[in-house]
Amino acid sequence: MAFERLEKYREIIWNDQACGVCQRGPWNPYRPFGPTSDRLCPEYEKFRTITHSAQGRIQAARWLLEGKLPVSDDFVKVTYDCLLCGACSTVGCVVDQAHVPMFRDLRADLVAMGKGPIEPFRKTGSLIRREGNRFGRPKEERAKWAEGMDISPKADLVYFAGCVASYRAPEVARSTATVLIRAGVPFAILGAEEWCCGQPLLSSGQVEAFASVAEHNVRAFRNAGARRVVTACGCCYHTLKFDYPPITGDTGFEVLHITQILADLIGNGGLRPKQSFDHRVAYQDPCHLARLGSRITAEPRAILKSVPGIELVEMEGNGKDTQCCGRFPVELPDLSLYTGINRIRDARAAGADTLVTACSFCHWNLTRAGGNVKESLKVMDITQILAHSLGCGPELPPLEERRR
């Protein structure tokens, strides 16, 4: 069968109401004045045709299943324009929570047919297969960020840094490790045995390659003696927690996000932020922490509120109604930048001078977007602020230098 995975959604696809809520909302007609954004689907916001929305994709899926829509290269490209942020799944339509898995399965069918993925995802996939990371950097440099930190290779708790923090934003990996050390929490890292979590593979339908990295990482965690795995990246967290078990079976370890551990430590007095951070801070809820499977929204805010000097402001579109950061800066650079810039503007509209997140991809995209708009805005990871407040982080550079 050509669309074996998509077939699972036949009943949903046929009964999709084509009501348009997946394009512009409203999020909830009885809560029109809450902190929800005017925008809903980032892809629709950029392209402005129904083709570029869940509704358009679902209608196309029906025609595919009926054998009436040929799979052209253009269609494949459009299929990959979605960021899989899941905003469409919040509106309460007949599709319920099935949007993201359905669109991922459609991509997996296209890959199985030899029609997908699109070239940028294929390239990322081959880099991951070759070097275990999305940047194609040498495996042995993965834990370079930890040089001089004397971190054990075995412990109950294993810190999974992820590709972005390992290679592109080592300051985030260092600040994460630093606060754990300051809290006296023993932990290990996998070093070169840590491979990409596989999210770019899963998102692009490269499911066999995804299974391969999932199985490798689970083996590596087990070899390190992990009973708990912690990560500071929302995407990695979601992948390890929700996407690995269907592939690997019970992993035997619990998956945590760093904000869960740190909020606990702050709550029970194990960490006491002291140094002031005198800024108006907006928190970007990562889709993968706040909407897609988890609701980790209180913990990051508890951490930020514990830091002296912070004035926490809320952007329109937060919690499960968050707006995506852009997610795929390499594979979908234009859409990613457009989406990130919208989020920078949301932060400025809320009066923030600092935008904080708890996901390496949000950090990456928003930093990139911030460098493309006039408004100056610091983009930071939450662990950087906490490390600063605990007096164990590097001196924060002035605002201008942080813009890239």
Name which of 60 and 373 has its Cβ closer to other proteins: 60
As a whole number of angstroms, the distance between CA 248 and CA 54 comes to 30
DSSP string, 312-378: EE--SS-GGGPPP--S-TTTSHHHHHHHHHHHHHHHHHTT-SEEEES-HHHHHHHHHHHTTSSS--E
Q: How far is the CB of 351 from other proteins (least distance, A)?
A: 15
What sign does the CA torsion over 31, 32, 33, 39 have?
A: positive
Please report, for residues 18, 47, 203, 302, 345, the alpha-carbon distance to residue 50 in angstroms, rounded to integers and kept in the order given: 10, 9, 21, 39, 25
Q: How far is the CB of 90 from other proteins (least distance, A)?
A: 11
Nearer Cβ to other proteins (61/111): 61
Measured from the CB atom, the residue of 73 and 278 that comes closer to other proteins is 73
CB of 234 to other proteins, least distance (A): 26
Residue with smaller CB distance to other proteins, 4 or 38: 38
- Nearest by Cα to 327 from 108, 100, 151, 156: 100
CB 282 within 8 A of CB 355: yes
- At its nearest, how many Å lie between other proteins and the CB of residue 79? 9
**Shortest CB 309 distance to other proteins, Å:** 29
Nearer to other proteins, 67 or 397 (CB): 67
CA distance 219 to 207: 18
Q: Kindly state the smallest distance separating residue 289's Cβ from other proteins, in Å.
A: 24
Q: Give φ, ψ of 77 to 5 degrees.
A: -60, -45
Q: Which is nearer to other proteins, 63 or 295 (CB)?
A: 63
Contacting residues toward other proteins, per CB under 8 A: 10-12, 14-21, 23-30, 32-33, 38, 47-51, 53, 55-56, 59-60, 63, 69-70, 72, 74-75, 78, 92-96
Coil, strand, or helix at residue 261? helix
Laid out side by side, the sheet with 354-357 consists of 311-313, 280-284, 354-357, 378-381
Query: Phi first, then psi: what are they for 3, rounded to 5°?
Result: -120, 65
Backbone dihedral angles phi then psi of residue 7, each to the nearest 5 degrees: -55, -30
C-beta separation of 126 from 206 below 8 A: no
| Per-residue burial over 154-167, b = 16 or more CB atoms within 10 Å of its CB, e = otherwise | ebebbbbbbbbbbb
Q: Least distance to other proteins from the beta carbon of 322, Å?
A: 17
Minimum CB separation of residue 301 from other proteins in Å reads: 23
> Minimum distance from CB of 47 to other proteins (Å)?
7
Nearer to other proteins by C-beta: 49 or 152? 49
Tell me which DSSP letter residue 379 carries. E
Cβ proximity to other proteins: between 16 and 381 the closer is: 16
Q: Which is nearer to other proteins, 20 or 170 (CB)?
A: 20
